[in-house]
Amino acid sequence: MAASVVTGTELIPYTLSTWVFMLHVDGVPAADAGVAEACRGVLEATDESTGNAAGEALVDAVRGLIGDATPPEVQAAAAKLYGARATGTMGTGARDERTARIRKYQFEHQLPWLARVWERSEAGAVQPVWLLVERVTDVVRAADPNPWNDVDEARLLPIDDFQVLWELDGCTSVHLA
């Protein structure tokens, strides 16, 4: 895949595809046959060229689910992929309740989830971005939203900083129940 950094709403299909792929690897296949097949293609790739093509096929399949919405509707796409299991209740309640809920989810399910936060881009614009949350301790480990490119974009955020950025967006999230 391209080595350039994709930002803004253009990054959403990549972040969502990475989440879907991680869930697939964790034994939670998507209900959409094309997306599930693309995930299998990534897993079965034996060389970089085949892997890149499979990764692009996955992003294209997810992009097809998102449609032309601006910004893309991640919750609706997640519902198409995982039905009623896809929910956005991780961010309800006070900060300490959210933190407890996150840790309980992490302990019980050990699955990644998505959180939308507000951040300043390198160009200086303040905008919402979707983080693929892998692990929460005293820091939030956000996965590289596009692991198929050559740019390492994994991030660590102190939990309090993450909570503030998340609260700016009203604690929007998507996870599997």
Q: Please tell me the predicted confidence (pLDDT) of residue 71.
A: 66
The predicted-structure confidence for 62-120, as pLDDT tens digits, reads as follows: 999 887 766 678 999 999 999 999 999 999 999 999 999 999 999 999 999 999 999 88
Q: Please tell me the predicted confidence (pLDDT) of residue 137.
A: 92
The per-residue b/e assignment along 12-44, b for 16 or more CB within 10 angstroms, e otherwise, is bbbbbbbbbbbbbeeeebbebeebbebbebbee
Confidence class for position 1, pLDDT limits 50, 70, 90? very low
pTM of the predicted model as reported, rounded to 2 decimal places: 0.90
Phi, psi of 67 (to 5 degrees): 80, -155
Compare 109 and 153 and report the one with higher pLDDT.
109
Mean pLDDT of the chain: 90
List, in order of start, the domains of the chain with CATH numbers: 8-176 (3.90.70)
Res 153 pLDDT > 60: yes
Whether the Cβ atoms of residue 32 and residue 65 lie closer than 8 Å to each other: yes
Whether the Cβ atoms of residue 146 and residue 18 lie closer than 8 Å to each other: yes
The predicted-structure confidence for 20-56, as pLDDT tens digits, reads as follows: 999 999 999 999 999 999 999 999 999 989 988 999 9
The predicted-structure confidence for 9-22, as pLDDT tens digits, reads as follows: 788 999 999 999 99
Q: Please tell me the predicted confidence (pLDDT) of residue 7.
A: 59
Compare 83 and 4 and report the one with higher pLDDT.
83
